[in-house]
Amino acid sequence: MESLVSPISGWPRGFRSGTATALVTVLALALPGAGRAQESAREPHLILTSSTQRDAYLATARVWQARDLPSPAEIVEGPPFARGTRAQLNPPGGVPCTYESGGAQMGGKTPKFTCRAADGRSIRVKYFSGDPHSGNREVFAEVVATRLLWALGFDADRVYPLTVSCQDCPADPMTGTGPRATRTFMGVTEPPFQGLLILSKADTDQGWKFGEFEDAIDGMPAGPDRDRQRMYFDALRLLAAFVQHGDRKPEQQRLVCVGDVDLGAGDVHDLSTGDGNTFSVPALFERPGASSCRTPVAMIQDLGATYGSSGKITSRTNKIHLESWAKRRVFKPAVDETGKKGPACRLDVTAAFTAGGHAKASAPVSEAGRKFLADQLARLSDAHIRAIFEAARLEALGDKVAWTDPKTGRVLQGLDAWVEAFKQKREQIAAARCGQATPSQGNP
């Protein structure tokens, strides 16, 4: 799954401030702080620090925060958004925008295009062709996954479904070819994430690996702070296995600073993005030993290849595919096919080839992390779970969803099937007992 990067800025997607119907993801291209550029040309857009300090930020980064459980209606609505309610974002006639250019000029294979809204914003559109077999299914998976993480208290991007009325839109928006007409697309919009990337090198795709995060936590002084952070981290790893987040190359996870930044901890200079583009951004270069960020946050950035079955190669069945997801257990069997007994609570998730080493896909989780996530999942009623899937408008995917409950033999369809499969996977977490698994156990 490609990284959605602005062809202008080189920034990751979360930091960019008719008759035919398809499903799309709409992404703003604005740089962070773009609206304030006239006020302060030296306002940093990222933090560049040493590897040691970045490890310290990662070790103590916020992974989870306590919040009231949103109601089912609020889950469908999504996190509060300054631009208005779901109904305001999604008027009956669609949000009008005028076609600009095809995605073939942006690189990558994901079908996409850009169009310009009435207020002048350039909008990047990643769309679904309407074919459940060959179309891009990420746009459904992202909504479901981000709603779940947000509802439980984990940081995630804000993704809002809406309808786009693309004016002067060619028959093939990706290539820009074919007759032009006004075409209506179901879609989602993702506003720019409010925060500054924390980097130790001039690479906005630096991200983090799960094994790197674990090592950073293990480097903390022994005590309750480390124990609590490891519990949150293990809960996040377990949740990633629950949704089958196997496409976990470093750029799919990001480390950011939210809230106030201490500009006195360094100097602001322009930094080239290092991707061959002449565009540069103001960066806060931290002085050795200084700390400018009070609230670092570690989060999963791209959840498009989820709710299927993870694999070495990303495919159709990795993305919002009920049969594949329901068959995949959360934990590996305690005894493998050779009769060899392994550590408790090894995660049954396969890291993609692109994840590289230290992905920690199938390493075991601690009992504290298991219990913490089990308690959070237990807060969800059937109505909450249904709302998570309803928010994505899965009926538009076109799959014929029918699933036989292995416990009762009942044949369930549509959202009923998704809800029951979710509950059974939740039961696997609730019933497990993980002992005191250590980081040295299991596979990398």
Domain ranges of the chain: 13-41+63-190
Q: The tokens of 380 are what?
A: 């969800």
- Tens of pLDDT along 400-422? 888 888 888 899 899 999 999 99
Report how far residue 198's alpha carbon sits from residue 179's, in angstroms, rounded to the nearest whole number: 45
Give mean pLDDT, residues 31-52: 64
Contact 132, 317 (CB under 8 A): no
- Tens of pLDDT along 335-357? 766 667 778 899 999 999 988 88
> In a 10 Å sphere around its CB, with 0-12 CB exposed, 13-18 middle and 19+ buried, how is residue 2 labelled?
middle
The residues with which 271 forms a beta bridge, in sequence order, are 281
The most distant pair of C-alpha atoms in the chain lies apart, rounded to whole Å, by 66
- Tens of pLDDT along 223-260? 999 999 999 999 999 999 999 999 999 999 999 999 99
Report how far residue 384's alpha carbon sits from residue 375's, in angstroms, rounded to the nearest whole number: 15
Where is pLDDT greater, at 62 or 105?
Answer: 62
Give mean pLDDT, residues 189-194: 78
Confidence of residue 399 (pLDDT cuts 50, 70, 90): confident
Look over the chain and give the mean of its residue pLDDT values, rounded to a whole number: 83
Contact 196, 56 (CB under 8 A): no
- Tens of pLDDT along 169-186? 999 888 999 999 998 887
- What are the phi and psi torsion angles at 199 (to 5°)? -125, 155
Q: Show the DSSP H helices in 137-223 as ranges.
A: 138-152, 210-218
The pLDDT, as a whole number, for residue 27 is: 34
List Cβ neighbours of 84 (8 Å cut-off, separation of 6 or more): none
The pLDDT, as a whole number, for residue 18 is: 34
For the entire predicted model, the pTM comes to 0.86
Q: Which of 234, 256, 208 is nearest to 61 (CA)?
A: 256
Q: Which of 310, 332, 350 is nearest to 434 (CA)?
A: 332
